[in-house]
Structures are given as structure tokens and as C-alpha cells.
Structure 1
Amino acid sequence: MAIEFQTAFDPAYGSAVPIAPGVSRLTVNNPSAFTFYGTNTYLVGTETLAVIDPGPEDDAHFEALRRAIAGRPVSHIVLTHTHRDHSPLARRLKELTGATTVAEGPHRASRPLRIGETNPLDASGDLDFTPDVRLGDGEVVEGDGWRLGGVFTPGHAANHMSFGLEGTGILFSGDHVMAWSTSIVAPPDGSMSDYMASLDRLLARDDRLYLPGHGGELRKPLPFLRGLKAHRKMRERAILERLRQGDRTIPDMVKAIYRETDPKLHGAAGLSVLAHIEDLVAKGAAIAETDVSIDGVYRAG
């Protein structure tokens, strides 16, 4: 099943864009190959607000948030996860508003680091953030006229939480599901087995509109979710086929599988292949002849 990505998007930097009653979006001017046009911040509520994913430490975005808040009380700052393009501005916004910060928990890897392993993604993790309130799966944070229910969706990050705006069919999906691209699943922060289980968790829901951490909204999300699952299964089959063909290392697999991808992105692609390899080794479909790592040697199970 092919995924129909939706790449038409106007970031309207510096302006609050109305999305739904009581919901507006501001996009940070931090475009990149990984953030698309930039990180989305959402304001929820009319009188007393929640701010979802305030973004990176960025003066222009902070001023845009001040203008959009327009002196209204902010009761909560809610984080889908703690990558540096989503959470650092929470500290300055908390100082300004006195709001309570809410997240699943502080930044962490999805599994213990192996002996001698370093985390190449530490630079992307906001290791200084600890929420005032830790929200578990199914728990609710609420304010004046709105209720956000936590939906634990690890995979892209170990502490990734999506939030359903109760009574609306809207899900703030963070970086777990985005209309413009597949999510990056990169160990040790990310886990492919967690990611796939989180897709199944969302498939069991009936949300009608996803508001992601980057890019535009996703309507009719269930077919898109099924496409994401099919894509990952296809990638898994491609990796197994490369192993059967004699490839033994992740760089060799990346060269073959991602031959049409910009070589500058091959490093990220290698981490994605590693995520699949970790899952395949755990299931017995692949065998590690060395430690399971980006530099490991593998064969088909």
C-alpha cells in the first residue's frame, strides 16, 4: 500500500493559523531535512490556554508566541517528546506564564546503552528538561474548556506521547505520525518494535484529524497509518533480502536500499536500518555475528 504524502504546506512564520475551534498553529522558522518547514507549536483553548510543543530556543518564535497568547493565562505547557526542536523553549515560556509543564517523562533512550556504546543522538535530546507533571497513558490534563488525553506512542522517542483533544476527534500526533514523511526511528532513542506497536495503538482509535509536529494536518488518518505499517514491513523485507543476497553490514544495505536517497541522509538511513535489525534479531529473523550496532555484522536467521 503506497503512502500518499502531503507536502503542500504554508508555514506562515510568525503568525497563528486557526486550525479548528480553539486550536491554532504557529510554525518555527527552523526548516531542515528532518523538520520539513519547521516545528509546529499548538495553542489549545480560548480563555485559558495550553501550549503544545513550544519548540526550540528561538527568539522570533518566542515573540510570536507572546503575540498569539495575547496576555491570556497559560495553565499548561505540554510536550509530545523532548527532542531539541520541540521542548527547549518550554523553560522560557514557563518563566513568562507560570504554566505547569506536562510530559510522559524526561528524555531517555529506549533501551540501556550497550557496553562501549555512545548515543550519537545526545545532541538532539533535551537532557535538561524534567516535566512538573508526568502523564501516563490514558491520563488526562485539563484546563478551561479543554481536556487532553495522553496516548503513549513510543518509537520515535522513548517518551513520545500523543494527545487527543477530547470531544473533537483531534489527535496531536507529534513526530510519531506526520503527513509529509515517515517518522525517523533511530536507536538508541527510538525503537522499531515500540514504533510498530504504537501504530497499532492508534489504529484502534477513531481520531479523524491528526495535527503533527511538522507539516500540515492529516485527515482520514487510518488509511495513512495502514500505509505506514506496510512501508515498514516492506523495508523489513528489503533488509532481509539484502542479508540473503550476502550483505553483512548496515552501510552495504543502505547503499542498496537507499540508492536513490541523498547520500547526506545515509547516516540517518543507517540508524533506521539498525532499528529494523534490532527488531529482526530480537525476533530471530536475523543473526548478529558481532554486537548489535551500526558497525555490526549480520546474516539472515
Structure 2
Amino acid sequence: MGKYASRRNFGYGKQIAHAGKVALRDHYGHGHHATVATHAGRWSQFATWAREQGVRDLAKVDNTALATAYAEHVQALVQAGSLTVATAQNRISTVNVVFASLRGDRLVALSPRDYAGTRSNVRTMAPASLDPARVQATVTALQNANHVRAAATLGLARAFGVRREEAIKADLDRWSREAIRHGAVNVIDGTKGGRDAPRWVPVGEAQRLALDTARAARPTGSRNLIASHESYTELAVGRLGEINQARAVLHQHGIPGYHDARAAYACQRYYELTGQHAPVITGQSPIDRRLDQQVREKLSQELGHNRTDVLVSYIGGRK
């Protein structure tokens, strides 16, 4: 069961956060680095909470009771509006996974849905990043805080509708060449699930500006926002990575995360292609349902989903 002489935290180390991370590495066979980093980040929040409850050694407490108390704590945050259902479910799921890794069994198994509620994928509030002034103020604040790559990531997400990983891993030189030659860029690097279907995103003045800003922010000698001495996980997923550190600045300006900028892109493109605001903004069904369907198909390609049903989480649904 653990690898250290000490029996604390099932032999995985004296600190709860560190023990969980080591156990996760063993559980995933020292692979799946991004998954391990994601779980470790969520687990550190549990570890902080457990320490506040006076818990130092998980091997000496009732794990199910402790996990249940944490789930109730997370539930209270959801009810207070401080945490989304999706985030809450993820935190509880991580607790299940890490306890299984530490203990070597699955006796600690809470239902994320029972405590956090049911997710709804239909967006009901307009993305905060739809406001250009808010985004620019956030970008400026990030740059002033020396989070220039986080500022570039937010800018690319807003201008091109790309995911965080796609923005960070984008070959910025190739994008610049394609923007000049084709008036569009093909999003290839960092795509979810390694999708390789052509995904051309049109380039206008806003996109050129975001691209220029990102090229200026990238580390010397790199084609993207990742320095030669670091990994994507270190930059974007790790607790001390710049991208995660910068989230506090985003929150200060009312932007919940980088994905919010992707939703704002979709809403803006919907208006550009239909002349009407997206349903999430109007609160009403589209006037021309056939045009709405055509635009959803186009946006699903630009966003890299190729499934129109996913668009409800970006621009809202149809009644």
C-alpha cells in the first residue's frame, strides 16, 4: 500500500495533498499526466479543508464520514451560489478516485449528483466575456500581474473560440501564415481527443490583434505559449502554473474562466451570421429556426464539436 516507512495517509506521505498525488501516480501507472494533475489540483482543495477540520492522517479517521462531510460542504457552496454544479460534481468525483488510489479499494464512493445536483448543459446566462471592455480590462490586469501568457490565452479564446489547451498549444507562426494566405486559421494543435478534421476559423481585425499579442507573449524560441523547459501540464494544469494562478484575476473581473471567452465567441458569431442575438441573450427562441440550425452547424465546426446539440451550452437552447 504506500511507498514510505511512515504509516501516515496509508503510507503515501505525511501531507494529505502530497499523499494523494503520489497515490494517483501509482494508480495511473505513472502515465495520464494531465488526468493526475487535474485530480491532484482538486484533491489539494479537499486536503486544505481536511486540515482545517484538524485531520492530518487519513488512515486514522473514518474515510466515508470525512468524505461525506466534505461533500456536504461542497453542497453548501453550490446552494450559496459560490460553486457551479459541474465543479462540485468534479470535486466529489476526485475524492472518490483519490481515496480508491490511497486505500486500494472502492469503499469510499459518494454520488456526486446526490450532493451537487444535476448538471444542465443549457446556458441560461450570457457569457461575461461578451463585453469587450471587460475582456480588455482583464487582459490588461493579467499583463500588469506579469501573467502575459494567461492574457494571451484569454485573448485567443475570445477571438478564435478555442479551448484553453488549443490556445496554449497553437502554432502561432503557422496561424500567422494561414491568416495572411487564407483569411482563416486551421485549429489543429491541442484539440480535444486529437481530432484532426479541418477546423477553419475566420480571421478579422480582432483575431489579428489577439494573434500578434500571443506571438509577443510566447517564450523565446517557442512556436506556442509553452517554454522549452516546461510542459503543458506545468503551465496550465499545475496549481502553481501561470494559467491557473491567473484565474484569480479573471474572477476579480467577473470572468469565471477561459471557457467563458469561448462561449462569448459563439454568441458573437451567432449575431454576425444571423443578425440576431443568441437565444441565451434574448431569452427567446430564434425567429428563423432553419437559419438558426444552419448557423449552429457552422458554429459546431468552428468550435470543433461537429455536433449541434452541444451548442446549447454556448448560445442557449430553443424552446
TM-score normalized with structure 1 length: 0.27
Higher relative contact order (CA 8 A, sep 6+): 2
Bigger fraction of residues in helix: 2
TM-score normalized with structure 2 length: 0.26
